[in-house]
Structure 1
């Protein structure tokens, strides 16, 4: 990457994430919708807007307006349709609570938007399942796809529960439609502490670690530009996977072209145990994204007792958990290289794992989720006689206790027999992935 390419990339990046421009685009889409009498433009405007005033004005359901015409919404779902046509069966989903007597609903946790599409598209009569289960959709990005939510609301009876990728989006999600309700947990919170065995800080190999796929939105270039101004003696580890045509080789070439002179190990498509081993062997971890979902990797670093540096202006859910005990929010105005140097100096004195164990683990998350769903059920006059099974991500949703899997296994077998095109027999990981509670 040349200096001119770097400047162009930074300019494009700045325009993409400029709040004022995003709001201006939303207003233009709203105006176009008024002229064309096309309410789908309001849906797109709502998704992109970053001002509560504008969101209220462009919300396609303002003043109690009905759901949009399904035929108009379907073109917004092309990405999910493509995934479905390539692989239509459900993945990354768990039964957290079985249906009970007298109409007591179970709870089905569905990770990521494309799986909600698979579920609803694959069911000939969605009510046959959804009258028995409440769905909790764990979103992967912020903002999520409001087109998908619009489409889903036609098929999901009652409340559609969402696990937002960013707590900053919760108010926006709930304001979109009265049948949307958010829980307070995030995807990045379902981490089991026992999956990480941290090394003493002084014994760690790498000074800086970045776990991120090679896609442009991860903004590796900003780390490389900072490294060019930091000591060459630092050891850096990059863990990622091919994305958007980028490979480990192209990432390395970018680093060198931007002047990063440190010893750098670039790992591609590592097995999860090896990723965790390196997380536990790194003195600091960084995330350079300006926008994504909750970013599980950032919170995994905390359980590895590795302080995290994240941009102070990042629209990333896990930014909520970066504090003086867990890392630093990096200010671009003060210089990312200076901020990283300060983080490296502070790292030996921080104990992010203890803070994370006290506030973030899967044990805390399931307690909160159970309380919130139970409380809402009571408010609706619905039965709740059984609590949720304990869950963690390892690296996908799975049960903490094997006894929960053994007890709920017949439900999966029954769903496979009833809906074979949607529920595969291997939906839940094998018993070797279970953790102690």
Structure 2
């Protein structure tokens, strides 16, 4: 590539803010301790970083992050960069490496490593972050907007064998009205808390939470916490010390939406809301999800509008969990469509409070309707039809509006002024007579 072509490529990378990997030789051409030509991409090796996992690269990376007027684009070639802290970043900065398991940032200090405050559109891509401090936090965002993490591995030290030593470690913290943050193709593993959020309108897509004590915590109890998760896995081993809950919303919060999410390997897979007046989400939805657990798959404690559709419930190995537990006081109304139980054809009807609308594969439960209920026939089809368990017709409202009984002993039942019940019976000649049924309301 000509010098002019190389310069054009660097200018394009800076304009787009993209993680374009330039050859190390091209970045090194500016000489040690200097930025790449034009200041577009900075290679931390040019500023003295070693990346061998032993040398302290804190000062070298800080030097590489000192920028002028244009946004920082920082490249960390494959290696392990041991640091005690991470420098402050400017708006629109891009930090990228050669892959989540190739470029690793190692921090052994009990601190918050990457702290973004009042920043926008900062991007991390293709690198790993590994913490060993018992109370350390990998990434914290406060009042930040439209930041992103693409193909980033964030790993702590929590394991069943060392519990509870690292139970306070946190992978990601979103607070202070941080919004628009996106995690794409990321792995957040082995923390006491994988992701903690007290904000709304943040997104996790095509990512995985593994072996966290609490995978995701929605907290704050101030009606703000919310999250959208799509194509996400929550997995763990079967040791009770590893994972307690995959998703926990611990009080009043905002909207939580889960689409195509897989849960397995926890005591309680999802715990939504708190009893005793603390509250829960204003909306909570699960669509096309698979949920397994040891104790409880889905615990709906308090939620204003739960919506569940095409959710499959399974046990973890050697367990018989409660598949769906609903607190009628905290979740009096909700919608459930096609919930699949591993133990039976459908979730038992008694699980749902009376105010829920439930449609199963062979049944439907709809709460009482207030006002006029209208049903309209199509062609000669019945407006309504009652059938016996074997499918035999019993009665119907015909398309003309006429009431029809298909059973000789199933005629109209009337109540007299003194409280007695009578059934109308028709003879083969068409004569109408009555049969007494007593004063107890008939059930058949």
**TM-score range relative to shorter protein:** under 0.3
Q: Of Structure 1 and Structure 2, which has the larger fraction of its residues in strand?
A: 2
Report the structure number with the largest CA radius of gyration.
2
